[in-house]
Each structure stands twice: as C-alpha cells, then as structure tokens.
A and B are shown apart, each in its own frame.
Chain A
Amino acid sequence: MEDFYYLHLADNNYIKFDPVNQITNVFFDECQKQIFIVKSAAVSVIKCKESKDRNFSFCLDNQNPLIAIKFNSDNSVLAIQRNENNLELIGFKNNQIIQNSSILYETRKQGSIIYGFVWSEQHEFIVITADTVEIFNINMAKKQMKSQKSLSVSSNWFCYNRSNIILLSSNNGLLLTPILVKKESLTKLAPIQMEDGQSISERDVITGTLYDKAAILILKTTRNRTLEIFVYLLTGPSFKKLHVLKLGFSGRVAVSIIDSIIIIHHQTSKVSLLFDIALNGEADNLDKSVMIHSPLLAGKSIKPFSIKIPSVSLKENSMTFEMYSVNWIIFGDIIIDVKLGYLFKLELSIDKIQIGDKIKLVDFLMNRQNAKSQLMNILTQLILPDDYNEIHLPILEIIFNKLNRVYKLKIQHDLNKMQALPSPSAFKTFTSPQPQPLNEHPREIIIDQNDMLQIFNTIVDKNMLEKVLLCYIYSLVVHAITCEYDLSKMLVMTLVGSQKVHDLQQILSFQVLHESKPLACFILSLANYDPLISQMALDMLKRLNAHEIIVEILLEQGKIIDAIRLAKQHTNVDMLPARKFLDAALKVDNKMTFYSVFNFFLSRNQRLRGNNEFMKSKILIDIVKKMIKYIMAFCR
C-alpha cells in the first residue's frame, strides 16, 4: 500500500538530456518549455510540450558563448543574447537558421545593460534594460523592429514567469514595479514598496497566476527566522497584498503553482507544503484585508521516483533519483536536475489529498478544475456515511449552500448570455442598452441539481433521503433556484412515501418547484396514496392553466358536470366532443347526471345545426338508445 503521496513526478513524462558540463550549456525557456543544449555552435532543442514538432538541432554561425536563447511562439524567430549590450534576432525556418536574416538590437544609451528579453506574442518582443522596458513589433521579412512603447524604469533585475506581468526591481530590491503586458502595450502599475526595509533579491520573487488573477509571490524572512510568503494579487489597477502564507521554517525553498495551489518545496526537510488562498484563513490583526494562511495539511515529500534503465544483464536496473536535490531548478511544475540531465514534470494528485474538515475539503475541491468526480465522491461519502459516522445535517447545509452559490452564479451567467443576444427590437430603439452587471462564469466546479440527483439516487434509507433532500431544496430555495422536474419528482415520491403529504402540499403551495404538466400528472398518478394528492395536482394544473387536462381528470373522476362547466369556460363549447362526455356520463351510472349531459348536447346541437340530432356515429346511436331506455324507465 503506497503511502498517500499527493505529489509525484510524472512517470512517463521525464526527459533525459545532456547534463551541464564544461562544453555543454543548457538553457530552459519557461514560456516555450524548450530545453536548449548548446555545445559550442551546435544547438539541439528538446521540447517538453507535447506537440507534433519533434526535437531538432541546428547550428549557429557564431561560437561565442550565449547568455540567453529563446524562440518565439511559432519557432520562426530565434532571439539570442551574447553580451550585455546587444541582442540578435534570427529568422528560423524548417529547423534551420535563415541565413542573413538577423536583426541586431543594441542599447541606445551607452553603458546600458540588457537584463533580458521576453517574447510576449508571436511577433512581439520585450527588452528589459537597466533603465527602460520597451516592446517591439518584429517584422522579419522587412528586417524591421518597430518600437511600440517604451517605459523608462530603472531597475536592478527583473522577474518574468509566463504571466502577463514583468516585475522590475529598483532601489536595490526595495521597490518592485510591476509592468502589465497587454497587446502591444506596456502599463506601469503602482509599485510595491517594501515597508520593512528588507530588500528583495531576484530569487525570492515569483510571478504567476492564481485563480485567473496575476499574482506576485514574495518570500520574506520574519524576525524569528521563519519564512513567510506574501501574496500580492492584481485587484483593479494595482497589486494588493492580500494573503500571507506562514511556512513555519527557514532555509532554501522553491515555489510551484499547480492549478492555483501554491506548493512550497523545502529543501532541507525535503517536504512540500500546499497552500490554497481561496480557502478562508485567519484575518491579520493589523491589516484586516490580509488573510493569514497555514498549510492546507501537514507537509509531505514528493513520492520517490525511479526509472528503469535498460541493461545488458537480465536483471533490470533501476535508477532512483535524489528528491529535493541541490541541483534542482524549479520552474512552476517543471523540475530540472541540471547535473543529472533530467527534466521532470511535477504532478499533484488531488484525489490523494485528505482534509479532515469536510467543509474545507469541499471548498478546496470546488476550486480545482478537474476534481468534479472527486468532489462527487466526497459528497456521496458525506451524504451516505458508513456505519461509524452519523450524518451531520448542519454540515450538509453549509456545503449545499456553497455548491448552490456557485450554481446560482452559473445560472445567472447563462441567463445573461441569453439576454445579451441581440434581439430584433434592439435595433429600433436608440436608447443605449443598460449596462448589465457582468456575471462571469464561475471558475469553481458546478454541481447542479442533476449531479446531486445522482447522489441522492444512491440513498436507500427513505427517512434519511427525505431529510437530506429537504435540506438541499432549502438551500436551492435560499439561492432562488427552482427545483427541476427530476428532483421535484424525487421529492414528491419521497414525501408521499413517508406519508408527509401535508408537508408536500405546503411546499407545493410555495411554488418553489418548477411547475409543469408532467410534474402535475406525476403527482396525480400517486393519488391512490392520499386523497389530498389529487387536490394538489389539480391546483398545480390550475396554476398552469392546463384546463384540457383538468377536464380529462374530472371526466375520469366522474365529475361530468364540473368538466363541462370548466370546458365551457375555457374552450369553444361548439367543438366539444359529445361522445367523450356522454361515454363518461354513462360510466357514472347516475341517471340524473347522464340526463343533464345528454340534454346539454341536445341543446347545443339545436343551436348549431337547427335540430337536436347528433352527427351519425355508431357509438352515439348506442348512447341514444340507452337514453331512450332511461326515459322509459322513468316513465314507468
């Protein structure tokens, strides 16, 4: 039985490359996920992304050592930096360098140093120098490099990790200036000031995306030497410090972000901690807007990893890797062991994360993109506890409310989307459309009533089902979500089954269930259990204005006179099929009723056709014969 390691390295997704040594340089481009193995002028590129492109090799013209090398997104331009003052952009096609296609970029100001460069789009290129950040549009065909925008910010270093934020450090790491990169433009955002006077070094900062928001994570050392991570999120026009992660130890750490979970790898203790900023932490005493988080659960190591090595002997050799090695470099979910020449992909198994607090667990799972089945499993466990655990309705209530809050957002989003479609009448009016509150599609997992229905279907204990179901429907009601047919049907069946017809009537009278003819008919089909039920069904049909169905029901119940009265009011009496009513009247076996119905149709015939005869029909003739028999019986 494997110990529940929730972090592991992907078994079949590792890459072996030539390790770094005197003649080999290795570069990793985080954006493109490409490894460049450079041996003097020969470059081989290994792709980590699973794509159709194969790995390839090419030769550079120049053997001078490289500082950085990066392709653009479609591998059509290769950017190379060989010294601090200039960059070279080279056209690239069919895995080969296009000769004489290079553009040379040099810093304008003398002595200005290029810190680095970034491909932001296919043909957009950002260069960061000691005093400027500039975005260029690249046109290789014309050998042009057109400056789109330039910001003058002096900096010591910069940080960029596959997000739309470039973070510049100035004033020796006391001031961090975030630059927002957005389509051909750069925007300088309000700088983040280090109030405590602690300067930040380049390796203490990571940018990334948490729950679709740009985030900056800064590693800080507290007074008692333990580490904290400050999480800044882009809210509105600026970054705000919103979360503090308490690590509780000191030493070298690395940060990965997978599925918006922050994973802190601690090298000395060989433990990784998980943090989820979406979960409620404690509010900071000093600053109420800051949440303090402790790890989601006790730290665990990454699962030990070994691979089989082909060997000549029959015995299989396997190679076990040292975890949390000093040679590891971590880029997000990619771990590179530069010394051994391996690249691993870090994976997080959500299903192995066990949190005792079920509310927290549900919260956590709702925020995971791919954990729906996992979430459903947990919900099933909560609703169907094993013998040792009791069901806790108050906890279920909280969880249902969480689910339905998101569910309601989704419904609103869908509704708005439908309303947003241009209607033909919109063109005629000149008033500007009302700005609607924009409801974004919730990023959380949506568990709708049909999902819940699946779980409810597994409950065998009727008594329990009734309670859980009412609890869930209460939550739906609170969120103003109407209960759809299938769930309503289940509720009706459960309440009728446990002889709570009165409760059912009360619930129906609130009209919280989605009323429909099928539901009314379903309720009617249960009328044998309790006479109250047929009353409820008729009420619902009445609310739905389903007079035809009511007429049928009244006929079935033998209330012919009532049926005719209702039909007279709501349909064209001339079109009433006499046969149906007379047939029903015959079944009632009440002479008075039959006589009245018969007379009603006779007078109608008189009015319509001038005589009181029925249209020719065999069955009608039978009825008329029967009528005569009745009259004879009366006369005697």
Chain B
Amino acid sequence: MSKTQISLENFFIFNSSFGPNEGEEEKKILLFHPEIEKNEKLKNIGYIEALVKFTGSFTLEPTSNRDVMTMKTKKFTKFFFEPEPNFWIVMTIKNPKEQKTKDNREYTEYFTDDVHNDVFSKILQRCYLNFRLFCNTFEHNMIGTDEESQVDHLRMKLDNFFMKYLVTLNLKNCDIFDLIQSIQYKAVSHLTFFKIVNLINMLISIKNLKIKKCIFLYNQEVVYSSISPDDLFIINEYMMESLFPKYFRLKSNQGLDSDRSVGGFVTENETETPQNAPKVYLYGDGKGRFECETFRMVLYNIMDVSLVMLVEDDDDAINDEFYNEIKYSIGPQLGLISKEISDNIIQIQQNVTKSQTEESAKNFIYCNHRNYRFHACFNENNTEITLSNREGKKSSQLSLSIMNLLSDLYSKDMTDELIDSERETIIKTFNDYWIVKKYFNYRSLYLIIHKNSTLIDVAEESSKLLSEIVKNVYFTN
C-alpha cells in the first residue's frame, strides 16, 4: 500500500457562548463537516474547548485572535483559531500514512512532518477570509429578531458557503506558495503598464459607471490591481480555484471557446448575469483602516485579458448602460491590450530562445515581503509557476520535504523580521539538493540547486544565479 495523501478529516465552526448550559451543547455547533453523529461532533468541540482553556492558563497574554494554533498528534494535525470573539474555526488534517512491513509484522508509519504547520495555518485563515469576502463577518450574519433565528441565519450562510468552498480546497497541493500569500504578477512592458493604468483610471473616472476599483489580469495572472494586496490575494484565489475553471468549462460546453475575440462577462453559471454579480466585502490590508467596503464584483473577459471591476454596491449600478459601455467601448480596448501583450511575449520568447537555449535549469523563489509579490521558476523548462499551472508540475520536480524545508525557512524569515539584516543560509539536503537562502531588505531569494558539489561551489553558483535573477534592485552586498 502506498503513502496516503494529506486530506481533510473534519472542519467545524463553533461558538461556545451559544450553548453555555448543560444539555444545550448542540447550539454551539455552527458548522460541521463532514456530517457525523451528534455526540462525535460535541466530542470534537469539547476537545478544542478544553485545549484552548487549558493552554490559555499557561500563556501570559490572551492569544491574539489572528494567530492559528496547531496541535500535532500521531494521526492528525489540528488547526484552530478564533477570527472573531468566541467564534472558533477548526480544521483537522489527516497525516499521511503508509502501511509497512518489518520483520513480517505490519505496522503503519505516520508522516507527521509532511503537514507543515505554517502552511496549513494560512489555509485555515484563508477559509475564514474567503467567507468574509463574500458574506462579511460572522457577526454581520447574525440577522434575525431573536438569538435563535440569528444563529440559524448564520448557520445557513456558513453551510451554503463552506459546503461549496471545502470541495475546492486542494489540501494535497498546499505548499510554500500558500504560505507566501503573495502574488506572482505578470510582467508587462512599461508602455503596456501605463496603458492599463490609464484605461483603469479612465474607467474609474466615468461617473455613470460607478466603478471603484479594478484588477487587470492577463492569462489569469494579475498584471495590475488597485486594491490592497491582502484582498487581492483572496479574490485571486477565488478566481483561480473557482470562477475561472467553472467559466471556461461553461464556455467550452457551449462551444464558445473557439472565438476568443468575443468578450463576455465571467460568471459562475449560465443563468447568472452581471446584474446579480456577487457582493464582496473588502477589509483592506488592516493597516489602520478597518471599516469594510462593499462592492459588487463584475468580471469581464476578452481574449486573454480579464478585468475585475468592483462596482459601487448600488442596485442600479449595473444596468444596461453599464453593460453596453463595457461590452462595446471598453471590451475592444481590452482586446487591443491583450494583443499587445501576447505580441510582446512572443517577441521575448524569441529573444530568449535565441540567446540562452543552453542555460541551466533554475529553480528559485524570489519574493518581496514588502509588496507581496513573488517570482518563482520551478523546473527544467524555466516555466514560471502560476496558480493555474501549479498543479502537478512542481510535485514531480521537488519532493515534499524540500518544499517543507522552504516553508520552514520562509516562516523563519517572517518571525525574524525584527532583526532586519542581511542573512544567508545554505542547506544541504539529501540527494545532493542544496537550498540557498538569501534575505536582505525585506526580500528573500530561495535557490534550489541540484548538484553534487562543495559548499564553496554552491555559494559561488548561487551568487552567479543571484545576479541573473535579481536585477536593478539593492538586494545584497
């Protein structure tokens, strides 16, 4: 029997204050997935309640509700956190296991280290942030005349959302990229960039359209956005994991994918029109500004370009005028930009193939912690990693342990941020893999070199690669 993959054991949300008395424990449960026997559910909740209470007496300060707590057992890893007072979200993950035989005795080996604490903590946080993006906070969903109906409303909302969301959660492919929570932007030429910025500025300045913010994507990669990085990351994830796959499936079912020059509004299903575009709640980057902004999110796609428009939350905002303006005036302009970018890419590719065909493989992640952008390149063909093509590619290249090692290094950087000084770490792992990490001025570079050589050679090679990858910025002495 081969090794099992990381999978979800259960996922639940509870609020102890809803059922403080004995016999009323069931009221605490807001969501429980998968559906199991009631007593089992309560057992799980009680377990977490006890853990929090017990460990709480050993910590000096009350735990910050933003932090995810983790508990590892042999078979499971539990992640739990309190995004809003008294509301707890808990995710239990099955550790991978493998049946082995030794001395003719069968036994099960559990790979507890495969489940990286920090990576899955981020996943859990994102579950909440995703919910908040579309449904606002738990507290805001307590709608009703009495407490009971309020809680029921919240339960319904949670149920509607998470039943759909948990299916898209692809736990076995979670890795350092989920930890970085940054976005790999599509690089475009400066002329194209300005053109996009101006187009978006123009859109925003048209008062009738009530468009407030925009995200510009090329080939499902972000090129430009006028929203804060935190919100962008969540919206991007929603588009990549849910919206785009559904849309393209829909389009190919209708046989429309052949003519890409026809633009259209991207919706989750056929019946949806831009008029009932989903509401989104943006909370910003949490820097000083906490009030929530509500928008309607409309996505328009033409050729390779997609434009996300966040429109003022007004029943009348997305009307026929809006529809026509986007379709007949903005759409063609987006098409032109799409053509421009694709021409550019072809040109660059030609240049690359001419000049550096024999160049060695580069595996690296370069990220800037200050602007939430990263750039990664992860296999022999120098294909860039994007959320859309991540699946299946990297796992064949780099083993989970190396990915987890990278995650470890990354978490270290984040916690050590206060000591902000140049750092360099070189690690030799098994199978002749070397990981070189450089950190300076809130930027870090992780190089993965597969070579049987000495430390000096690796150091030399890494500085050579460094100068190739990182240009024009003050990265290291």
A: residues with CB less than 8 A from B are: 390-391, 393-394, 397, 464, 466-467, 470-471, 473-474, 477-478, 500-503, 505-507, 509-512, 531-532, 535, 538-539, 541-543, 550, 557, 559, 561-562, 565-566, 569
- Which B138-188 residues have C-beta < 8 A from chain A? none
- Which B407-422 residues have C-beta < 8 A from chain A? 420-422
A539 to B470, CA, bound (A): 11
Q: Are B474 and A538 in contact (CB under 8 A)?
A: yes
Q: Which of B207, B226, B474 contacts A390 (CB 8 A)?
A: B207
- CB contacts (< 8 Å) of B472 on chain A: these are 509, 511, 539, 542-543
A501 to B474, CA, bound (A): 18
Q: Are A503 and B205 in contact (CB under 8 A)?
A: no
A212 to B421, CA, bound (A): 64
- CB contacts (< 8 Å) of A561 on chain B: these are 421-422
Q: Are A477 and B191 in contact (CB under 8 A)?
A: yes
Q: Which 9 A-B pairs have the closest CB atoms?
A: A542-B474, A510-B190, A474-B194, A467-B201, A538-B474, A532-B370, A539-B473, A393-B202, A565-B477
- CB contacts (< 8 Å) of A557 on chain B: these are 420
Q: Does B209 reach chain A (CB closer than 8 Å)?
A: no
Given A500-B226, A505-B371: A470 touches B474 (CB 8 Å cut-off): no
Q: Mark B42-80, 1 if CB is under 8 A from A, else 0.
A: 000000000000000000000000000000000000000
Q: Are B477 and A542 in contact (CB under 8 A)?
A: no
Given A393-B205, A502-B371, A512-B190: A470 touches B477 (CB 8 Å cut-off): no
- CB contacts (< 8 Å) of B443 on chain A: these are 535
Residue of A nearest to B203 (CB): A393
Q: How many A-B contacts if CB must be within 8 Å? A: 84
Residue of B nearest to A466 (CB): B201
Q: List 23 interface pairs A-B (beta carbons < 8 Å), by A numbering.
A: A390-B207, A393-B198, A464-B205, A467-B202, A470-B197, A470-B198, A470-B201, A474-B194, A474-B195, A474-B197, A477-B194, A478-B194, A500-B226, A503-B226, A505-B371, A509-B473, A510-B193, A535-B370, A538-B441, A539-B474, A542-B472, A559-B420, A559-B422
Q: Does B442 reach chain A (CB closer than 8 Å)?
A: yes
Residue of A nearest to B442 (CB): A535
Chain A residues touching B, majority SS: helix
A113 to B442, CA, bound (A): 92
Q: Are B371 and A532 in contact (CB under 8 A)?
A: yes
A391 to B202, CA, bound (A): 10
Given A510-B193, A562-B477: A502 touches B229 (CB 8 Å cut-off): yes
Q: Which of B191, B197, B204, B368 contacts A503 (CB 8 A)?
A: B197
How many of chain B's residues touch chain A, expressed as a range?
Answer: 20 to 34
Given A510-B193, A565-B422: A550 touches B474 (CB 8 Å cut-off): yes
A136 CB → nearest B CB, Å: 60
The residue in B201, B420, B442 that gathers the most chain A C-beta atoms within 10 A of its C-beta is: B201
Q: Are A478 and B191 in contact (CB under 8 A)?
A: yes
- CB contacts (< 8 Å) of B198 on chain A: these are 393, 397, 470-471, 474
A57 to B239, CA, bound (A): 92
A370 to B81, CA, bound (A): 71
B455 CB → nearest A CB, Å: 20
Q: Which of B194, B204, B473, B477 contacts A473 (CB 8 A)?
A: B194
B408 CB → nearest A CB, Å: 24
Residue of A nearest to B443 (CB): A535
- CB contacts (< 8 Å) of B226 on chain A: these are 500, 503
A532 to B472, CA, bound (A): 16
Q: Are A569 and B477 in contact (CB under 8 A)?
A: yes
Q: Are B422 and A562 in contact (CB under 8 A)?
A: yes
Q: Are A542 and B194 in contact (CB under 8 A)?
A: no
B276 CB → nearest A CB, Å: 29
Given contacts A503-B224, A566-B477, 17 further A-B contacts (CB under 8 A): A393-B201, A466-B201, A467-B201, A467-B204, A467-B205, A474-B198, A477-B191, A477-B194, A501-B371, A502-B371, A535-B443, A535-B474, A538-B441, A539-B473, A542-B474, A550-B474, A562-B422
A533 CB → nearest B CB, Å: 9
A571 to B193, CA, bound (A): 38
A459 CB → nearest B CB, Å: 13
Residue of A nearest to B202 (CB): A393
A268 CB → nearest B CB, Å: 47
Residue of A nearest to B225 (CB): A502
A473 to B201, CA, bound (A): 13
Q: Are A394 and B370 in contact (CB under 8 A)?
A: no
B37 CB → nearest A CB, Å: 50
A569 to B202, CA, bound (A): 48
Residue of A nearest to B474 (CB): A542
B363 CB → nearest A CB, Å: 24
Residue of B nearest to A570 (CB): B477
Q: Are B201 and A477 in contact (CB under 8 A)?
A: no
A565 to B422, CA, bound (A): 10
A617 CB → nearest B CB, Å: 28
A539 to B471, CA, bound (A): 10
A101 CB → nearest B CB, Å: 71
A501 to B421, CA, bound (A): 23
A352 to B177, CA, bound (A): 64
A506 CB → nearest B CB, Å: 7
- CB contacts (< 8 Å) of A507 on chain B: these are 190, 193
- CB contacts (< 8 Å) of B442 on chain A: these are 531, 535
- CB contacts (< 8 Å) of B204 on chain A: these are 467
The residue in A500, A501, A503, A506 that gathers the most chain B C-beta atoms within 10 A of its C-beta is: A506
Q: Are A506 and B202 in contact (CB under 8 A)?
A: no
Q: Which of B190, B197, B421 contacts A562 (CB 8 A)?
A: B421
- CB contacts (< 8 Å) of A394 on chain B: these are 202
Q: Are A542 and B202 in contact (CB under 8 A)?
A: no
Residue of B nearest to A569 (CB): B477
The residue in B194, B421, B440, B442 that gathers the most chain A C-beta atoms within 10 A of its C-beta is: B194
- CB contacts (< 8 Å) of A500 on chain B: these are 226
A336 CB → nearest B CB, Å: 54
A467 to B203, CA, bound (A): 11
A393 to B204, CA, bound (A): 10
Given A473-B194, A474-B197: A542 touches B420 (CB 8 Å cut-off): no
Q: Mark B208-238, 1 if CB is under 8 A from A, else 0.
A: 0000000000000000101001000000000
Residue of B nearest to A503 (CB): B197
Given A535-B442, A539-B474: A391 touches B194 (CB 8 Å cut-off): no
Given A470-B194, A543-B472: A535 touches B441 (CB 8 Å cut-off): yes
- CB contacts (< 8 Å) of B194 on chain A: these are 470, 473-474, 477-478
